[in-house]
Structure 1
Amino acid sequence: MKKIGILLDSFGGISEKEIKANGFEMIPLQFSIDGKDYIDNGSELSNKEISELVKTSEETKTSLPSLATIEERLEQMSKEYENVIVLLTSSALSSTFQTVMVESKKYGDKFKLVDNHFFADQALEISKFLVKKAAEGKTIDELIKFVKQVNEKSLNYLIVKDLTSLIRGGRLTGMKKILLNSFKLIPLLKVSQEGISFGGLKRTLKGSYEKVIEKLIEFIGGLSYLENYEFKFSYAGDLEMFNEAQKALNEYKAKIEKDQISSATVLIHTGFKCASIGIWPKLSKLKF
């Protein structure tokens, strides 16, 4: 048996092909757009194609991975690996985590599920790092402790310029919906291990990015710690959202390293006029 296996899902927006190319496995989420069902594996539709469909759709929804797929992946990996680290969508955002946890009990403690709020390519990046450290002799307990440490040092925000998808999905109700709709305010939504919470309001996209970056820098302890961290960004393909983010990051001599379109799950729940920007520690600079 191989020592360490990694199991991810499609929340990060990375295709199954790329995940497998790195030696990992994926459980794809599912979604439907205007009555047509899809598997979110990057093969049926690219993230860019999904974003265009979401932009013009009338009805969208997401659903859990099929139970058959979950069972198949767990059975396969149980035979190939001594231990499997599982990094899925946060349990605060999806019941996929709980479903996989229940199914994994059939294999004792072989599957190590680590609840997290990673986004974009963070789960893939840390998975590569874990495999490298396992090869250097790190134990499974040390690897899991490291993932939890990185998760605690990470934070991201959603900036949602158009609230249509959030309102349509019932996530904004009552006076808050009326207020945000009436004054065209842009909500800043904090994404942490506890889930999504209200993080403030701004009138302009420029001001939204500036405020979020300010909050992220405050989260890590101030500007003096910035050299040990890096920003992550994903969006729905709207160039205005991308360009304004890059302008705001330029003030800190930072840049968007990867032009990454969000996953179907994120796109469907937040819509086309949304971007996610976050901060997490540079893995190579952490004591491990």
Structure 2
Amino acid sequence: MNPIKIVTDSTVQLSKEEQEKYNITVVPLAAMLDHSLYYDDITVSKAEFLHLMEKSPVLPKTSQPSIGQMAETYNRLGSNGSEVLSIHVAGYLTGTCSAAQQGAMLSSSKVTIFDSQFVDRPLAYQVIRAAELAQQGASIEEIKQELELIKWNTKMYIGIVNLDNLIKGGRMNQTLGRISTFLNIKLMLNFTPEALIPEVKGRGLKALQKKVESIIMEMKSSADIKQIGFTHIGLNPFSEKIIRSLKENFPGVPMHIGYACPTLMAHAGKEAFAISYLKK
């Protein structure tokens, strides 16, 4: 019996080594910037895209994979009779999961779509575990049960340092945005499986620092921490200080540090960061 094939999208925070080790197929999202189309980690690296975004006067426009692209991927992976489990970014955030569902309907392969209800490294927590179980011969249902457990043992927080992209993208009223920028307002969002919940809105980095300290205390009081993720849209002294603090407080816990994908860069803006962790 052929092992189940695992598919995800490029909003995931996976290293190349993890992707190759677990034979994970990553379908890229795209971003249009200055009349050029870029595919995540294929035609542009994350660091390169950040540099391009910082130089551009316009906001990048992002798009999910096409239905045809998803169907083609599923047909290729299932051509030998393998089942496919496709795990994607939260459906309430983008249309990627919907495109995957429609692609699965057009595919001749047996495909199951799973909404991770997360993004970035928390999505990777689910994808990697699914791939491990697939290699061990687990069924689709067994894998899905494990992913539900992981989902509810995951926490993620996103710090918005610069509001420019939220304002340009229409996610914040222009007048309110200008006032917030003038007042140096920073945001901290709690990324839950159901919604993005604003938890902190304050002036300057001190407001974010207090919340980061609270998150670390929350982590220390939780059950054993299995993994930590820190994603950034350009490192600065503030984010580097957070990384040091996480390493000092959790010295034996594996920690993944990396650039956000272009899709997240477009929405969250430069110097934004995310802290995530998975409990055992």
Q: Give the TM-score, by structure 1 length.
A: 0.84
The one-letter code of the counterpart of 1:271 is G
Tell me the equivalent position of 2:51: 52
2:218 matches 1:225: no
Q: Distance in 2 between matches of 1:274 and 1:256?
A: 22
What SS class does the counterpart of residue 224 from structure 2 fall into? helix
**Percent of matched pairs sharing the same residue:** 21
Task: Tell me the CA shift for residue 30 of structure 1.
Answer: 0.7
In 2, the alpha carbon distance for the partners of 1:25 and 1:143 equals 17
Q: Secondary structure at the match of 2:105?
A: helix
The corresponding residue for 2:119 is 119
Whether the 8 Å CA contact 1:114–1:148 is kept in 2: the answer is no
Amino acid at match of 2:277: I
Q: Is the 8 A contact 2:49 2:262 kept in 1?
A: yes
Q: Give the RMSD, CA atoms, in angstroms.
A: 2.8
Post-superposition CA distance 1:155-214 (Å, at most 9, x none): 212111110011100111166435522311211122122232322223343541441452
Instruction: Give, as a single letter, the amino acid of the residue that structure 2 aligns with 1:69.
Output: Q
Which residue of structure 2 lines up, in the alignment, with residue 130 of structure 1?
A: 130
Q: 1:146 to 1:21 in 2, by over 3 A?
A: closer
Q: How does 1:13-162 map onto structure 2 within 5 Å?
A: 13-14=13-14, 19=19, 22-40=22-40, 42-59=41-58, 60-107=60-107, 110-162=110-162
Q: Quick one: which amino acid aligns to residue 228 of structure 1? A: I
* Contact 1:15-1:43 within 8 A present in 2 as well: no
Indicate the residue corresponding to 1:262 in structure 2.
Answer: 260
Question: Is 1:239 aligned with 2:236?
Answer: yes
TM-score by length of 2: 0.86
Matching of residue 183 in structure 1 with residue 183 in structure 2: yes
Distance 1:171 1:252, change over 3 A: same
| CA spacing shift, 1:211–1:246, aligned 2, 3 Å | same
Structure 1 residue ranges without an equivalent (≥5)? none
Find the aligned partners of 2:230 and 2:67 in 1 and give their Cα distance. Answer: 31
What is the DSSP-based 3-state SS (H/G/I as helix, E as strand, rest coil) of the residue aligned with 1:151? helix
**Code of the aligned partner of 1:85:** L
Structure 2, unaligned stretches of length 5 or more? none
How many residues end up aligned between the 2 structures?
278
Instruction: Quote the offset at 1:234 in angstroms.
Output: 0.3
| Counterpart in the other structure of 2:196 | 196
Structure 2 residue matching 1:150: 3-state secondary structure: helix
- Counterpart of 1:170 in 2: which secondary structure? coil
Q: Following TM superposition, where does structure 1 have runs of at least 4 consecutive aligned residues deviating by more than 6 angstroms?
A: 15-18
- Tell me the SS of whatever aligns to 1:62: strand
Distance in 2 between residues matched to 1:226 and 1:244, nearest whole Å: 24
Shift in CA distance, 50/81, structure 1 to aligned 2, threshold 3 Å:
farther
Partner amino acid, structure 1, of 2:189: L
CA contact (8 A) 2:85 2:114 kept: yes
Indicate the larger mover: 142-151 or 62-71. 62-71
